[in-house]
Structure 1
Amino acid sequence: MEPGGERELLPRRHLPELRHQAAEYYRSNEVPQRLEEALNATFYLRPPDLYGHLANYFSKFSKPPVICKLIGRKVLDGIGRPTLEVEIFCTVKNHEKSICSIVVSSHSEILDNASPEAIDADEKERNDSINRALEWVNGSLNEMLRDLQPADQCKADELLGEYFAKKVEEEKERKAIEKEEQEAAISAPAYVPALSAVTPSGKKKGGKLGKKSSVAEKPISPAEPIEPLLCGSIAIGGLSLAVAKTGATINNIPLYLRLALMKHDQDLPKELTMPLPMVSLLSCGKSSSGKLKLMKEVMLVPPAELTVKQGIERLLEIQKQMVRLLDPVSKGPSVLKRISHLGCLITGCDSLEQPLILLQTACRNLGLELGIDVQLAINCAAHELMDYDGQQWSNICNAVGSRCYLIAEDAAKSISKLVEDQNINVPKCSGLIIKYTNQTKISDLTELTRLLEGQRHIAILGSPAGESSDDSLVDLAVGLGARFIKLGGLSRGERVTKYNRLLAIEEELAKNGTLRSGENHGFVDFAEEALTVEELLNACPTTEQDPWPSEHSQPLLAQDQNPLSLHGSTLHLNEATNLDPSIFP
């Protein structure tokens, strides 16, 4: 056929010769029969279509894609701090191809009113961690994951877990050697003359004359020390998520479906439920003084009967009303400039009731009733409220647990340790806010959500303070069946990107007919549960041991437990709840 001329059908007389040549060429393989079948089905095609059909036919028998290269980069998160980006390349049909990249959200507290020394130390620690993660990704982890099929998530997480455990042991050995060297260097203490107990001029030691000693008030217990993190651990979580996203991309399915398959042992559920967004509208604690700092964050949750789109539209209207109430004179620019890193309005308060009254007024202006048309959630500094006293937390659960959710935002242990212990060893609560950070792996997250459901806890996927523009967190929440998702406010690009992804997934599920309507979950009456357990124990023979044996430690706080999870806990109030002061001892 001449170039530019009309295409002609392939003459049938050429087919026997073509079959013979192909059969001779591929006689040593399993191809002849397949080629024969393919040619018999394509004799009527034009030559260009024939070649494409053959290519598509034999591509089904090609080697599955494998990871060939990892690239780690230092990038900036939503507030300008360094974090990690991971890009995965795979060999697909003998060609190297970039499949996907993810940006890891860094989990660290935003230092407000911190000293310059503390800020410098935090920046140095963060940079050291990212640099170490880059060394791992571009070096040893690159070699370790090469030729691994990204569809094998369990194998990838197993390798990453073994690598992390090895690094932890190396760090312990390094610190032990440093300690021995320091002890050897201080072989004998330097001689220091004893100080005389007699003060100059014959005066006695003591306070100033004329000043009475006063009994100091009981100070608020300091926050428990943050669990030490291995420098560079962010590489483990980042790579696990990148492998999961790569596997989804290669299989031409969204990430949330891949996660749903993993959670349900490759048996995809017929319907998926969208998580309810917990939207932050006010950040008032850090800009207030004294005990007013207990009210860290005020959030609203749309009712379950609304779609995500309807719920977000309703909350946007409430936010506009709040802007008008906070700044009635101007048109809003002065207020809108005061946006926190969480993407919500910043305002101080003169009383704990003030932000709640503000929300209630904004709802009433729109004809909405707080507690019915929209739900209230409060993020409070629980460790300052209850002084790390587990009995107080138990009392408040018994008092209001049947009318609201009580959520532990910071788990007492890391996700990997929670999965390892197979027990949500936290004070009595309705559920946990899970943040995908550091060495957390996808398989850990999948197992933890199963564990939460088995122990009748609700799972909430939470966004860390140092958020990035990567929207994978939303797919995690949908695929793992989280009850709520906490993304911050409806401002700032890194926050809004995730809300847009939430809307897109809802639209896709509705279009495919796989969207399940929201379900209202009942609240746990902790008081009745505790009474039931106590009755069971009273029926048992009395012993001289602790009346609360270890197997019954879940309903109440274990005595030797580190109650770190009290910090930053959330009260999700579904109705107006009056706290009786008598519940506090």
Structure 2
Amino acid sequence: MNSIIKSISALEILDSRGNPTVRTYVTLEDGTKSVASVPSGASTGQNEAIELRDNEKRYNGTGVQNAVNNVNTEIANALIGKNASDQKLIDYTMIELDGTDNKSRLGANAILGVSMAVAKAAAESANLPLYSYLGGTNAVRIPVPCMNILNGGEHADNSVDFQEFMLVPHGAPTFKEGLRYVAETFHTLKGILKNKGMATSVGDEGGFAPNCSSNEEAIELIIEAIQKANYKPGIDLSIAIDSAANSFSPNLDGNYDLSWSGLGKMKTVDLLEKSAEWIEKYPIILWEDPVSEGDWDGYVDFTKRFGNKIEVVGDDNFVTNTKYIKKGIELGACNSALIKLNQIGTVTESIEAVRMCREAGWRYFLSHRSGETEDTFLADFAVAMDGGHLKTGSACRGERIAKYNRLLEIEHELKGRSEYRWK
């Protein structure tokens, strides 16, 4: 098949929060067509690749017409005639064309849309599912879904400091059953909240967003739901937490303000003591961003203390960038890195971040963003990367369910070849 790029174009669409984002179309010489849509985050690290926004009156400044124009002109002109099957060449051509360290000139949203659409087109042209094209014939491991069940922080307007409380069905035999475990528990939690007179509205990622009296109450509610759904905490289902500690560290250092939930102001050492209580008391299996991105010593101390018990994930401090992941590996700052395609801006660089984690013996945790689209690229990418776990939202909101349904399709396609395991 002729996988030479014939045309590239983009348009402005809306994400799950009603904000503009970029959708990109690629056509190859053999007639293959693909489309990809770019997500957007709310809780972001300072060193993430930059989304290009118009900063004009329309859409309150969040429009992406300049990014779309960059795809339609500079990027298209640079890539038309190149082979879509050479993903690294495609991505590094755009990186060099942009010429900045953070993709701020052309926009990471412009670059990523093209990167994803080219990968999809190349896979289609090769008559391969995307997960096989990116991961090879041995890409058969379906990730354990870490489902957001209760929201706080930047993802909800409530009194919970921490951003995400997730259910992890590591005790299920298959992805299909794991998804059932968490979906049933999600609906059980809704009933519990309703009976207690608490809000059953949801946050950006579909998790419930009640006003809890404390972060501990949030965990207790989830454990109650697990048990009421007839599952065993710590055996069938465990809990993962994303503190998103940047949101309660005003200076992104070792000082924290959790006054919202009544814990008050804390130093890193106090936060670690509280974490120790919870890890001892509750079935916590993973903890993401337990301290702020500038608190590298805090990450090191947290990992030394708890890294042999749980997965300690860096997100805002690493931003899917090998420069910062390398620093984390050298310091022993975590034992896992979150991988978000739009944090770094290309498929190739995301794969390089995964490779660095593998070589260091670290885990890596594939993730969506709070502003998502119905694009299912992430589901295939998670299978291709063989990471073992994924977070892509709750058991509601179509842009989240689309990824889960795609994983069900992949598991079905693989038939008896698929694998499902936490580690």
TM-score (structure 1 length as normaliser): 0.58
Shift of 1:146: 1.4
Shift of 1:98: 5.4
After TM superposition, the structure 1 = structure 2 runs for residues 78-477 of structure 1, keeping only pairs within 5 Å, are 78-92=16-30, 97=31, 99-109=33-43, 125-127=61-63, 130-165=64-99, 168=100, 229-230=104-105, 232-261=107-136, 268-269=137-138, 272-285=140-153, 286-289=156-159, 292-293=160-161, 295-303=162-170, 305-328=172-195, 335-336=199-200, 338-383=201-246, 384=249, 385=256, 386=268, 389-412=295-318, 415=321, 417-418=323-324, 424=329, 428-437=333-342, 440-477=345-382
After TM superposition, the structure 1 = structure 2 runs for residues 456-535 of structure 1, keeping only pairs within 5 Å, are 456-510=361-415, 513-518=416-421, 520-521=422-423
Percent pairwise identity: 26
Q: Deviation per CA, 1:40-74, whole angstroms, max 9, x where unpaired?
A: xxxxxxxxxxxxxxxxxxxxxxx724211111111
Structure 2: state its 5+ residue gaps: 45-54, 250-255, 257-267, 269-291
Q: Matched residues in 2 for 1:243 and 1:515: separation? A: 26
2:371 is aligned with what amino acid?
Answer: G
Q: Matched residues in 1 for 2:4 and 2:172: separation? A: 44
Contact 2:172 2:236 in 1 (8 A): no
Q: Deviation per CA, 1:545-580, whole angstroms, max 9, x where unpaired?
A: xxxxxxxxxxxxxxxxxxxxxxxxxxxxxxxxxxxx
Q: Matched residues in 1 for 2:164 and 2:216: separation? A: 13
Contact 1:390 1:427 in 2 (8 A): no
- CA separation of 1:367 and 1:416: change in aligned 2, threshold 3 A: closer
Q: Deviation per CA, 1:470-506, whole angstroms, max 9, x where unpaired?
A: 0101111110112211101111110111110011111
Contact 1:410 1:432 in 2 (8 A): no
Contact 2:320 2:338 in 1 (8 A): no
- CA separation of 1:233 and 1:470: change in aligned 2, threshold 3 A: same
Q: Deviation per CA, 1:399-428, whole angstroms, max 9, x where unpaired?
A: 322221111122335526458x69746762
Contact 2:151 2:208 in 1 (8 A): yes
Structure 1: state its 5+ residue gaps: 1-62, 111-118, 170-226, 262-267, 522-585
2:109 is aligned with what amino acid?
Answer: I
Q: How many residues align?
A: 368
2:108 is aligned with what amino acid?
Answer: S
- CA separation of 1:122 and 1:360: change in aligned 2, threshold 3 A: farther
- CA separation of 1:123 and 1:313: change in aligned 2, threshold 3 A: same
Contact 1:463 1:473 in 2 (8 A): yes
Q: Matched residues in 2 for 1:462 and 1:329: separation? A: 32
- CA separation of 1:381 and 1:142: change in aligned 2, threshold 3 A: closer
Shift of 1:438: 5.8
Q: Deviation per CA, 1:421-463, whole angstroms, max 9, x where unpaired?
A: 6974676212011111165222212222111011111111111
TM-align CA RMSD: 2.8
- CA separation of 1:396 and 1:67: change in aligned 2, threshold 3 A: closer
